[in-house]
Amino acid sequence: MDIDDLAARFQSCTIPKEEWTHSAHLVVGLWHVHRYGADEALMRLRSGIRRLNESHGGVNSATDGYHETITVAYVTLLAQYLVVEPRDLPLTERAALLLASSLAHRTALSAFYSRDTLMSMTARAQWVEPDLAPIDVAAVLGPFPGEVASGLSSPAQ
């Protein structure tokens, strides 16, 4: 997997619709958070996802397209993931580990949100706080080996 190429195709809106999968969203998000930090990544991902959706003929509306709460929640989780995953691994390997983890499962956010809350029009349009539990990557992935030995915990949102 060439992460830099995927990120470049995302930025130029040249990823075909059939390749813009959940996994592609996660890898593009990981690349952005790694490169720019969570805050700038979020700004870039907001506009980039909307533009890519539109380039595929999609509409970003109250019921379809870009989803603010899902994007913010995943950027938060990806930032936490980059802190607790082995930092000495190349980003490509970290992305492969991410995609093989429970964090990549389409229902990962159900640890934090009820379906009704997450799928609401309000959550699509604006950030909605989790209604089940605070966002914490350890809740999806479990404790990391280094956390037990060092006392390190996942950063707060």
70 in any annotated domain: yes
pLDDT in tens, 83-114: 998 788 999 999 999 999 999 999 999 999 99
155 in any annotated domain: no
Long-range contacts made by residues 150-157, C-beta under 8 angstroms, separation at least 24? 152/84, 154/80, 154/83, 154/84, 155/79, 155/80, 155/83, 157/76
Q: What is the CA radius of gyration of the chain?
A: 15
pLDDT in tens, 14-33: 999 999 999 999 999 999 99
pLDDT classification of 68: cutoffs 50, 70, 90: very high
Query: How many domains is the chain partitioned into structurally?
Result: 1
- Give the range of the structural domain holding residue 63, as residue numbers without chain letter: 3-150
Alpha carbon separation from 23 to 17, 63, 98, 143 (Å, rounded): 13, 22, 9, 23
157 in any annotated domain: no
Backbone angles phi, psi at 60, to 5 degrees: -95, 105
Answer yes or no: is pLDDT of 145 > 60: no
46 in any annotated domain: yes
First-to-final CA distance of the chain: 29
DSSP 61: S
Tokens describing residue 94: 């970290």
pLDDT in tens, 71-89: 999 999 999 999 998 788 9
DSSP 88: T
7 in any annotated domain: yes
pLDDT score for 86: 78
